[in-house]
Structure 1
Amino acid sequence: MSIESPTEAVSKADIAPEMHLGIRHRRAASLIQEFYPDGMPEDWRHSYLAMMTQVIWVEDGDDDLAEMLAAIVDAPKPVLTVWVAEDSAQANLWQAAHPEQQLIIMTPSTPVWTPQAEGGGGARVALMPGSDQPAQIRAWLEQFVQQAPAGPCALFVDGESPSVPTLDRLQTLIELMGL
């Protein structure tokens, strides 16, 4: 598929999504043991997560929503925020107050790409299960990239026990693939 302009045709392959990598279940016990440095005070974890990942998943019902959003705003680098909201009013107000912040607002019914999903074309957010199979992770990443629209997209390691090794493998693949 091409997008026609008056002077040239641009292939869809030339309009790549902008990938941001993060962990969906940021408060999982396994993540606290594997991801955060030993002895890190609990109140520092929000800032550490914002520094160490490229995208943060938040939901309206999170009991630490205000703290996480403050850490995102204070982060020394850009952090994409994916906000799942029944009503987008609060997310829109936050975006208006912080226009420099990239934000994807989702409802619980917004399509999310997963390796098991049929179709899912045009999804900006992907949930990747933990895997120790690099070839499988690469195939999943390629499938997501093929269907993803241009612009900011979020790729989350999913599961109640997020896999830090999967996060590391995905980061390496994203860098090697030039995404």
Structure 2
Amino acid sequence: MPATPPKSDTSDTPSVSHHLPERLPAGERRAVPADQLTTLSDDFKAIIELMTYGLDEPGTIDGERFEAGQPLTLTQAARAVGVRLRRAREVAATDLFQHALSREVEALRRSERARNLKTLVKIRDDPGLGLAADRAVRIKAVQAIDGRPGAGAPTVNVQVNNGCDQRQVRAGYVIRLGPSAKGPEADT
């Protein structure tokens, strides 16, 4: 297995070798069962970086072109690093990998907060066309800037009728035609 993925002959974009750690020859590598890992290898740290931040420069993986900063899937990152897909999936399922990936994603989220706040301020200050939808977007931006929980998040309302009183609740519509119409109350 080559030390780095082969460069496509038809591509004028650089390979992803700048992300790859040095690899041991195949005879010197020993795979530890995924559930017994205590630390992640440089290969899996590189996979996490590629899954979170993407490539530093435009590149190709298996003939598919990727722009700089476009996060890769586990499969794409494993191929870029040269890790077998089965092994990548096994390790990715471990708590060790998931915690490391979560830490990296959270670090990215924290680093983008100032930029996100600036975007919200631009949205708040843009009057748009003055439509109700524009005003609603501006209000949600203000709520998000103020740090109100759930600002801009969809709301789901659920109602459950248990029928705790003596009458049973029945699905359907009740149409009352007037005071002379006899309804369910007339039965009792």
TM-score (norm 1): 0.19
Higher strand share: 1
User: By percentage of residues, which structure has more helix?
Assistant: 2
Q: Relative contact order, CA 8 A, sep 6+: which one is greater?
A: 1
